[in-house]
Structure 1
Amino acid sequence: MDVDGGNKRVFQRLRGPPPDGRQQKVCFHWQAGRCNRYPCPFLHGEPPPPNANGMSSKRSHGSSDDSGFSGPRRNPNFSGSSTWGGVHGANKLIRKTEKLCNYWVQGKCSYGESCKYLHSWSVGDGFSLLTQLEGHQKVVTGISLPSGSDKLYTGSKDETVRLWDCQSGQCLAVINLGCDVGCMIVEGPWLFVGVPNFVKVWNTQTSGELSLTGPAGQVYALAVGNNMLFAGTQEGSILAWKFNAATNTFEPVTSLLGHSGPVVSFVVGANRLYSGSMDKTIRVWNLETLQCLQTLTGHTAVVMSVLCWDQFLLSASLDKSVKVWVATESGNLEVTYTHNEEDGVLKLCGMHDSQGKPILLCSCNNNTVHLYDLPSFAERGKIFTKQEVRAIEVGPGGLFFTGDATGQVKVWNWLPEAASSHPKIGGS
């Protein structure tokens, strides 16, 4: 695939309307490399980037069905889309010199406010840390908040699933599985947990429990689409089950073959299943026929995460890049923009801020989570953690959750806080 040529070709088709010619003052602080205002009333770069217009104004509630984070369309209308990447690098909020104070993390920095390093778990405006949930002893691999529930589920490689009360922030129960939790999702009343050689299933309403057999090795990814459950396995196969209401069981449907390495990431959108693998590829599956429609080969390392936003597919890899794919007139996906990071990318998650603007959360293996505006990739803020974040989940009313490799789960929210629209986790 001619990636560079494709970038330029589709980039031109996605370019928004030209600036209206109004004179705007360039931000003095931005020119000096130290503007930290959002939104800044002055211009960052010249000419100004086109207006973002590629996202529904609906807020995300952790579901791909009620926000702009949905499946790619096969034949998008390019003329209404915004320019990816904006003015490259011009809108960066975070300076590379910023660093978290390790002594502050350990609770023993003697410099206090005069310390030249950060004494905060985040930088940026518009969001804040609500509370921390302590209990897991190893990397958090799954976070799930059932729709309409005031209970949060988290899974970890410490071989446990924990149940948290959203009002008090207290741990209500610990389920000892005796094996690593590879992933976790919630669909309706069902909680699905991927473990070696099984998918554990709990009905959160009836407390019923099932074990789905078939996987060989660890289950790294789970997804639900077209009334089927899909599991990505260590051996590279994708197993599918369908729920039988008459018997109250999940029956095997088929096994999707094609990946030559473990399947570690899934996303469902537009009647497609997108699977990312350690074989460095993404496969596109038709959810009706369960046939592979296309194999995407743009990455040079494991594809850690895939995400659907509007008509685009976003993919993240340890090759230090986030790629944006769009469907051409023929229906095939090609790269339209590549965002490069300084470190490998572990996880992508999409949501909206308190103003309804689309935000991409991008976790890297340098113990940071970047928050970017879409489609410009202008940086809105950065979250710092003791170790890398492997799990991110979105909740209602501007809530979002991060789980890191130390076992710590942090709860964040976008400001202003809408107390009546979401459960308060550990709040007063």
Structure 2
Amino acid sequence: MNMDGGRRVFHRFGSSSSSDNGGSNNSKQQKVCFHWRQGKCTRYPCPFLHSELPNAGSGKRAHQGLGAEENQRGGRGGLRRSANYYFNNNNNNNNTWGRVQSQQPVSSNMTTVKKIEKLCNHWVQGSCKFGDNCKYLHQWSTGDCFSLLAPLEGHQQVVTGIALPSGSDKLYTGSQDETVRLWDCQSGQLAGLVNLGGAVGCMLSEGPWVFVGLANLVKAWNVLTSTDLSLNGPVGQVYSLVVGNDLLFAGTQDGTILAWKCNVAANCFEPAASFKGHTLAVVTLVVGGNRMYSGSMDHSIKVWSLETLQCIQTLSGHTDVVMSVLCWDQFLLSASLDKTVKVWVATETGNLEVTYTHTEEHGLLTLCGMHDSEAKPVLLCSCNDNSIRVYDLPSFSERGRIFGKKEVRSIQIGPGGLFFTGDGSGQVRVWKWSAEQTLTS
């Protein structure tokens, strides 16, 4: 590094070309703008280079782009998947999700500028002047294992639920903007709008039923019969819903978990049980086998027997809000704002203990387990830095990342390799797993 006219510049690697004569134009060819490297050069035209590497064919060794990392792929354990596999895909013959936006290849820019794995805010706003030379990402994901098919615009606040009911060709999305939107699964166009008069805390679909968690209420819609029910009893906002053992469970703001049983003959839901034990709101629920697991703002996870309806164990390994719980094979996975994902396994006594802790740099919001295009289990971990990390299981080798305008609060699996994300800006995105690329020499 030297000082030139009071401005700091960096010399490019390698000796000067024999054709360099020291003129102003040639001087620019030999120096990289210090301010540009920090992403804040405002001079136009700038007398220094706004690029890092020599042109192809210059005789210098080229820098290779970031290729697909060889990931360790352990076990083919099955992730517990929701019952929402009735989305009308038709093997992509008629599906037009992909007509809105295609994904740009990751490697094209990597040979010019080494990218920082962070979304460029100026690019998001459509005003980045650096183009391909920007050191931040100008794409919504990294990795080549999935692609963005379409963004669904309309919600004005954070998307808190996504549902795919059986027997419907509509995608349901709920938001804190007090609406539920229905999207046509073939065109991606808005097909309906329901104003609820209250923020949506969560959504769940089971068979033809769509359940919506609201303040002091759960709405239940049957998309086949057009039945519209209101389930009373919750105190405060309903943050989580799950179905198990023929019961509907709702985690509420006051720490209580309420249960209803569906009366098919009367076409209604009857109160069945009330689970008390958490001291703060229950924000996540999952059912595995004959047990239900609840995560709470009180930093704990409780294990409930669906046979006795009693709490049989309290897990206290997290030091902040437990935001998401997930069952995978014989394991329980939990994610917390304490920046960890914990893997729990049952001991010989039947109690759950932590067998592995995965640490992130940011707090975790949502876990979603699914299978990739080769039926291998993967884990999607939404963090509060507006990104989703995608990991192989059980190795936790990273496959790629997905970025949102704001934090992603909802992830929902679809059929045929589709999945959906909803972020804090109100945007819903449709993604699809890609077939593994085979590298050839």
8 A Cα contact 1:62 1:395, kept in partner: no
Contact residue 303 and residue 316 of structure 1 kept, 8 A: yes
Deviations 1:344-371 (A, max 9, x none): 0000000011011111000000100000
1:285 pairs with one of 304, 322, 326: 304
8 A contact 2:392–2:398 mirrored in 1: yes
Using a 3 Å threshold, how does the CA distance of structure 1 residues 341 and 278 change in structure 2: closer, same or farther?
same
| Cα shift at 1:96 | 9.3
How far residue 378 of structure 1 moved from its aligned partner, in angstroms, is 0.5
Q: Is contact 2:83-2:206 (8 Å) kept?
A: no
Corresponding letter in the other structure for 1:55: G
44, 54, 63: which is aligned to 2:83? Answer: 63
Separation (CA, whole Å) in 2 of partners of 1:311 and 1:328:
11
Q: Answer yes or no: is the 8 Å Cα contact 1:316–1:323 preserved in 2.
A: yes
2:272 to 240, 253, 266: 253
TM-score (norm. length: structure 1): 0.78
Change (3 A) 1:236 1:34: farther
1:217 corresponds in structure 2 to: 236
Cα drift, residue 54 of structure 1? 4.7
Cα contact 1:54–1:310 (8 A) shared by 2: no
What aligned pairs does 1:140-289 form with structure 2 within 5 A after superposition?
Answer: 140-147=159-166, 149-289=168-308
Q: What fraction of aligned residue pairs are identical, expressed as a percent?
A: 67
CA deviation string 1:225-266 (max 9, x = no partner) = 000000001000000000111211100011101001100000
Cα distance change, pair 328–98 in 1 and its aligned pair in 2 (3 A): same
Tell me the equivalent position of 1:123.
142
**Could you give the per-residue CA deviations for residues 110-166 of structure 1, whole angstroms, max 9, x where no partner exists?**
221122211000001110001000010000000011245421000000000011101
Structure 1 segment 332-411 matched on structure 2, within 5 A: 332-411=351-430
Question: C-alpha distance in 1, partners of 2:352/2:271?
Answer: 30
Give the aligned partner of residue 345 of structure 2.
Answer: 326
- The answer (yes or no) to whether the contact 2:390–2:401 under 8 Å persists in 1 is yes
Residue 34 of structure 1: how far off its partner (Å): 8.2
What's the TM-score once normalised by structure 2's chain length? 0.76
Give yes or no for the alignment of 1:38 onto 2:68.
yes
Matched with 1:422 is none
- The unaligned stretches of length 5 or more in structure 2 are 1-62, 86-113, 437-441
CA distance in 1, matches of 2:338, 2:416: 34
Partner SS for 2:374:
coil
> What is the CA–CA distance in structure 2 between the aligned matches of 1:173 and 1:354, rounded to whole Å?
32
Residues 97 and 113 of structure 1: is their aligned pair in 2 closer, same or farther, counting only changes over 3 Å? Answer: closer
Opposite residue 297 of structure 1, the aligned amino acid is: S
Q: Aligned-residue CA RMSD in angstroms?
A: 2.1
- Per the alignment, in what secondary structure is the counterpart of residue 197 of structure 1? strand
Q: 2:200 is aligned with what amino acid?
A: V
Supply the AA of the counterpart residue of 2:305.
Answer: N
Letter in 2 for 1:114: N
Counterparts of 2:266 and 2:347 in 1: how far apart (Å)? Answer: 43
Contact 2:84 2:413 in 1 (8 A): no
- One-letter code aligned to 2:122: Y
Contact 1:136 1:158 in 2 (8 A): yes
Deviation at residue 97 of structure 1 after TM alignment: 3.4
Cα separation, 2, equivalents of 1:384 and 1:159: 25
Q: Does the CA contact (< 8 Å) of 1:227 and 1:242 recur in 2?
A: yes
Q: Indicate the residue corresponding to 1:52 in structure 2.
A: 74
Give the AA of the match of 2:74: A
The residue identity in structure 2 corresponding to 1:37 is G
Q: Deviations over 1:186-214 (max 9, x none)?
A: 01111100000000011111111000000
Structure-2 change in CA distance of 1:54 and 1:336 (3 Å): farther
Q: Per the alignment, do residues 217 and 388 of structure 1 end up closer, same or farther by CA in structure 2, a change over 3 Å counting?
A: same
Question: Which whole-Å CA distance do the structure 1 matches of 2:325 and 2:167 have between them?
Answer: 26
Matches within 5 A, 1:35-114: 36-38=66-68, 40=70, 52-56=74-78, 62-63=82-83, 97-114=116-133
Kindly name which structure, 1 or 2, has the bigger radius of gyration based on alpha carbons.
2
> Are the equivalent residues in 2 in contact too, given 1:328–1:334 (CA < 8 A)?
yes
Q: 1:379 to 1:181 in 2, by over 3 A?
A: same
Whether the aligned pair in 2 keeps the contact of 1:306 and 1:314 (CA below 8 Å) is: yes
Q: Distance in 2 between matches of 1:269 and 1:348?
A: 15
RCO (CA 8 Å, sep 6+): is it higher in 1 or 2? Answer: 1
Match of 1:30 in 2: none
The answer to whether the 8 Å contact 1:62/1:396 transfers is no
